[in-house]
């Protein structure tokens, strides 16, 4: 199957059928990044505006300093957030969603909401699967 750009499609059906095969590895990397639990929580928390590192660490339950720093660097590298350092004493750094990151916000909030809405049902399925093994 040929894609409009002349290269073969990544798949013969489904959403990947519209993606050229030579782009699929990068698409998987993007999905891995934005689908990461820490990335999604950080994007959701930045909905209301800029936050400092310590605020993010407090508002993202269970994240370590190392993982927060790593995730913020990756989100910044992908253009989903900006990091603004202010020349103050003590130094102040704030993180904000970019327009690209804001484009993900509704999707992220829907996924988090879905997980919350179906928490009990999924837990019950896991419990039954564990009890049956």
pLDDT in tens, 16-48: 888 888 888 898 899 998 889 999 999 999 999
Asked whether the predicted pLDDT for residue 96 surpasses 50, the reply is yes
Domain 37-132 class? mainly alpha
Phi, psi of 65 (to 5 degrees): -60, -45
C-alpha–C-alpha distance, residues 12 and 45, integer Å: 37
11-49: buried (b, 16+ CB within 10 Å) or exposed (e) per residue? eeeeebeebbeeeeeeeeeeeeebeeebbbbbbbbbeee
**pLDDT-derived band of residue 6, with 50, 70 and 90 as boundaries?**
low
Could you tell me the CA-to-CA distances from 22 to 3, 77, 94 in Å, in that order? 11, 22, 36
CB 16 within 8 A of CB 24: yes
Q: What is the tens place of the pLDDT at every residue in 71-95?
A: 999 999 999 999 999 998 888 999 9
Q: How confident is the model at residue 8 (pLDDT cuts 50, 70, 90)?
A: confident
133 pLDDT tier (thresholds 50, 70, 90):
confident
Decide: 21 and 27 in contact? Cβ < 8 Å: no
pTM: 0.83
For residue 6, is it left (φ>0), alpha (ψ between -120 and 50) or beta? left
What's the rounded Cα separation, in Å, for the pair 89 and 25?
44
**Mean per-residue pLDDT of the chain:** 91
pLDDT at 5: 52
Tokens (6 digits) for 97: 């969603």
Cite the residue boundaries of each domain of the chain with CATH code 1.10.10.10.
37-132
pLDDT value for 132: 81
State the pLDDT at residue 1.
46
Per the CB < 8 A criterion, the answer to whether 1 and 13 are in contact is no
């Amino acid at each position: 199957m040929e894609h409009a750009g002349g290269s073969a499609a990544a798949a013969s059906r489904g959403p990947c059928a519209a993606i050229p095969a030579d782009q699929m590895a990068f698409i998987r990397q993007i999905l891995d990044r934005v689908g990461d639990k820490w990335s999604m929580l950080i994007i959701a928390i930045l909905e209301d505006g800029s936050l400092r590192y310590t605020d993010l660490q407090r508002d993202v339950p269970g994240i370590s300093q190392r993982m927060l720093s790593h995730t913020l660097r990756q989100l910044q590298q992908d253009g989903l957030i900006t990091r603004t350092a202010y020349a103050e004493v003590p130094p102040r750094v704030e993180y904000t969603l970019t327009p690209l990151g804001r484009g993900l916000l509704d999707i992220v909030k829907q996924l988090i909401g879905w997980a919350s809405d179906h928490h009990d049902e999924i837990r019950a399925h896991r419990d039954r699967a564990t009890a049956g093994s």
